[in-house]
A and B are shown apart, each in its own frame.
Chain A
Amino acid sequence: MIAIQVENLTKRFNGLIAVDNISFSINSGEVFGLLGPNGAGKTTIIAMLSTMLKPTSGSASVNNFDILKNEDDVRKSIGIVFQDQSLDEELTAYENMDFHGRLYRIPKKVRQKKIIELLKLVELENKKNNLVKTFSGGMRRRLEIARGLLHEPKVLFLDEPTLGLDPQTRNRLWEYIEKLNKEKGITVILTTHYMEEADRLCDRMAIIDKGKIIALDTSEKLKEEIGGDVITIKSPERDRLYSKINTLSWVKHAEPHDNSVTISLQNAEKHVDEIVNLASGNGIAIDFISIHKPTLEDVFLHYTGRTIREEESGTKDQMRMMRRMGR
């Protein structure tokens, strides 16, 4: 069963391409990640799939309903947690849920029962009559997830679900998401720029950069693609080091970025001394050297030539967090 089918989807804003002719499909019951830096086009993809934004060209279906022709059926099939908060702070947790239930025309009896059930699931039942403005960031997120599930959607969209949350809350949210996926069989599509999050939660993921899908597979397969191990060396003479290393026969792939060089190779432990000797033989200082198994971070670097952090406009995150706290 296919939950989401996307074909040649494109979105332009005033000539600027936000989503560039992408195609992919997601099976039902899958947790699928859209991974990429801020501004890569993840949120735009979600906005189109949730019928909030019309694509410039291309087509897509969610739960076998066309996003252009069967807008209402798509909307009934999906639950969504937006990147920015979308609760009414002047209402209580229960009232926010109730408002949602009424909008989706859930009969009163079912509504009342399900609200309590879901508030229990996200451990907010004893806070149900408190105004949302007294809630912490994590509580608000949990309430939004519970709300998104009220009308029993087949597909749940989570746009940066753990942005700006502390590590503990993040862990708890991950547990909820896993539980939902396993127990209720809900297809989950989440966007994130936290590699760790994608690694932990997603069955498969698409790495998105500048509106294009540059890789799509399971986390293991993506890492295997790079192969073997990764050595990262920091040096003040990066370029000279890079040109020397590039000549070595057992180096599969080397790439300079920031003030370091990243090398992919097999059996890094055996070769690390050769690298050190090569550097000292040429009088190149080494500040730092590390050997590790490839991470998604390396995968992203491999495909884009940049680390995801270089791309991240740290200030944007901070502003969003401040806004959230200020509310």
Chain B
Amino acid sequence: MDIVYTIWLRNMKRYLRSKSRIVGSLGMPVFFLLVLGFGLNSVVSLPGMGQGYIGFIIPGIISMSVLFTSVFSGIQIIWDKQFGFLKETLVAPVSRLEIMLGQTFGGATTSVIQGIIILVLSLFIGLNITSIAGFLVAFVFMLLIGLSFTAFGIAIASKMEDMHGFQLIMNFVIFPIFGLSGALFPIDGLPSWLKSLTMLDPLTYGVEGIRYGLLGTSQINPFFSFVVLTGFTVFMVVLGAYLFRKINV
């Protein structure tokens, strides 16, 4: 565990030092929250939602923030590869699994912090947290999204040579995962083809879980969401660890 902690600690130090990254990665979620939230609040009315459209998308935007930060944290391994630092870690008498887990926990921690910042900002535009238990539920789901998608980023980074493919991954993988997740629209009432895509998207279960925690309502049973997302997290961590083991520097 001491090695996992060492890698985690480095991630934290780098994160806390890069103020521009913290602020920069808040930009898009806050923009979405304000523009979509206030822009569509008056025209969209959702049955059974007391807090309006803004209230509905807050969990979605929190997931977005966690998703983007975590994938990015995982992919950062490419930088370590290019700037040579990864060699220093790989030549040490430690297992690659420890390195990978340290990176995963580091990425998950930073992304959950980013998610919580959005959550706190949301308190100013109408979010009410009614119970500690609800917050904890949301927290657990944020953590699962963070862990699974950091591992996902590491898996991608292990296969990529440099950052050239980054845009491709962002536009064709990460945005679709976000867009199809039910972060911005309710799942019920979707055309069936779109609904099945949404149900295949692991992020959907994260969004729904956070929504249950913060708003007390969700369209998917929160226990079911928890099982699916936990399964996905375990799968991603195993896959990430497997691919990272084969990384060449």
User: Which residues of A are interface residues toward B (Cβ below 8 A)?
Assistant: 50-52, 71-73, 75-76, 80, 82, 84-91, 95, 99-100, 102-105, 147, 327
Contacts and interface: CB of A to CB of B under 8 A. Distances in A.
A153 to B, nearest CB: 11
A254 B85 CA distance: 48
8 contacts: A52-B90, A52-B249, A86-B87, A88-B14, A91-B13, A91-B14, A100-B88, A104-B92
A105 B2 contact: yes
Nearest to A74: B93
B10 A75 contact: no
Interface of B: 2-3, 6, 9-10, 13-14, 17-18, 83-85, 87-94, 249
B242 to A, nearest CB: 18
A134 B13 CA distance: 17
Contacts, number: 60
A87 B14 CA distance: 13
B6 A102 contact: yes
Contacts of A71: 93
B10 A99 contact: yes
B23 to A, nearest CB: 17
Closest 7 CB pairs of A and B: A86-B84, A75-B93, A102-B6, A103-B92, A86-B88, A72-B93, A84-B84
A87 B91 CA distance: 13
A103 B6 contact: yes
A90 B18 contact: yes
A90 B88 contact: no
Given A51-B91, A102-B2, A102-B3, 12 more contacts: A52-B87, A52-B90, A52-B91, A84-B84, A86-B83, A87-B85, A88-B14, A88-B85, A95-B13, A103-B94, A104-B92, A104-B93
Contact of A99 (B6, B83, B249): B6
Contacts of B10: 88, 91, 99
A50 B249 CA distance: 13
A79 to B, nearest CB: 9
A327 B2 contact: no
Given A76-B93, A103-B92, A82 B3 contact: no
A313 to B, nearest CB: 20
B3 A75 contact: no
A52 B249 CA distance: 8
Contacts of A85: 83-84
Contacts of A103: 3, 6, 89, 92, 94
Contacts of A80: 91
A71 to B, nearest CB: 8
A266 B13 CA distance: 65
B92 A75 contact: yes
A91 B14 CA distance: 7
Given A85-B83, A90-B18, A102-B3, A75 B91 contact: yes
B11 to A, nearest CB: 11
A102 B4 CA distance: 10
Contacts of B91: 50-52, 75, 80
A112 B62 CA distance: 41
Nearest to A78: B91
Given A90-B14, A102-B3, A103-B6, A82 B84 contact: yes
Most buried by B among A102, A104, A105: A102
Contacts of A50: 91
Contacts of B18: 90
B103 to A, nearest CB: 13
A104 B92 CA distance: 7
Contacts of A105: 2-3
B6 to A, nearest CB: 4
B125 to A, nearest CB: 34
B193 to A, nearest CB: 45
Nearest to B5: A102
A218 to B, nearest CB: 30
A327 B92 CA distance: 24
A89 B10 CA distance: 12
Contacts of B93: 71-73, 75-76, 104
Nearest to A102: B6
Nearest to A99: B10
Nearest to B17: A90
Contact of A82 (B2, B9, B87, B94): B87
Contacts of A75: 91-93
Contacts of A89: 83
Contact of B85 (A72, A76, A86): A86
Contacts of A73: 93
Contacts of B87: 52, 82, 86
A50 B17 CA distance: 33
Nearest to A87: B85
A105 B87 CA distance: 18
Nearest to A50: B91
Contacts of A147: 88
Contacts of B3: 102-103, 105
Contacts of A104: 92-93
